[in-house]
Amino acid sequence: MRLFLFVLLFSPILTVAQQKFTLSGYVKDVANGEALIGVTVLVQGQSMGTTTNAYGFYSITLPVETYTIQFSYVGFLTQTLPLVLDKNVAQNIELMSESTQME
């Protein structure tokens, strides 16, 4: 009986402590709106990340915390996104070509 009460009382705390949310969206070329395939999406300071798929879509699920997300792709300027992940977030990103920056 005591074990049942212990589990009943502390299970909401354990659920909140392990709560995770998802950051997702599309990465496109700012110049023409085309989807960028294979963009690296990294969580700075951690060994977690993902890449965009054939539609430029990415999705990563992480515990509740404050993060800096880095989007990088060969030939494009790297972009960072500061993020407090305390709910599911849809965030589309547009990357600028390095050659566009130089012009």
Contact 62, 41 (CB under 8 A): no
Domains of the chain, residue spans: 17-102
Q: What is the mean pLDDT of residues 81-90?
A: 97
Residue 7's contacts (CB-CB under 8 Å, 6 or more residues apart) are none
At the topology level of CATH, where does 17-102 sit? Immunoglobulin-like (2.60.40)
Query: What letter does residue 22 receive in the DSSP assignment?
Result: E
Q: What is the pTM of this model?
A: 0.79
Sort strands 48-51 and 89-90 into parallel, antiparallel or unpaired: unpaired
What distance in Å separates the CA atoms of residue 7 and residue 80, rounded to the nearest whole number? 41
17-53: pLDDT as tens digits: 579 999 999 999 999 999 999 999 999 999 999 999 9
12 or 45: whose pLDDT is higher?
A: 45
